[in-house]
Amino acid sequence: MFVILYKDRVELTKCLRVANKKLSRIYLKGKENLNFNYLLIRFLNLFNIYFQKLFHAKNCI
């Protein structure tokens, strides 16, 4: 378990908002696009990298 500092929570909220928009767009594209799964996986990988950067070298408890 780790504690998220207030500043990080604000960043996290922003990140999640952006993620929601991107996911909606990817989903809409996916309805007419057979590469939907590929796009989704690619996006989730990018999201994962963002989180690693966000919490890198932070003091976690």
Q: What's the confidence (pLDDT) of residue 1?
A: 41
Q: How many CB atoms lie within 10 A of CB 15?
A: 15
Each residue's pLDDT tens digit, 2-58: 555 566 667 777 777 777 777 667 666 655 555 666 777 777 777 777 777 766 545
Instruction: Read off φ and ψ for residue 33, nearest 5 degrees.
Output: -125, 125
> In angstroms, what CA-CA distances link 23 with 45, 46, 48, 55?
13, 12, 14, 22
CA atoms of 47 and 50, how far apart (whole Å): 5
Which residue type does 22 have? K
Helix (H, G, I), strand (E, B) or coil at 35: coil
Q: Is-above-0.75 flag for pTM?
A: no
Q: For residue 26, what are its two tokens?
A: 């990817």
Domain range summary for the chain, segments of one domain joined by +: 8-54
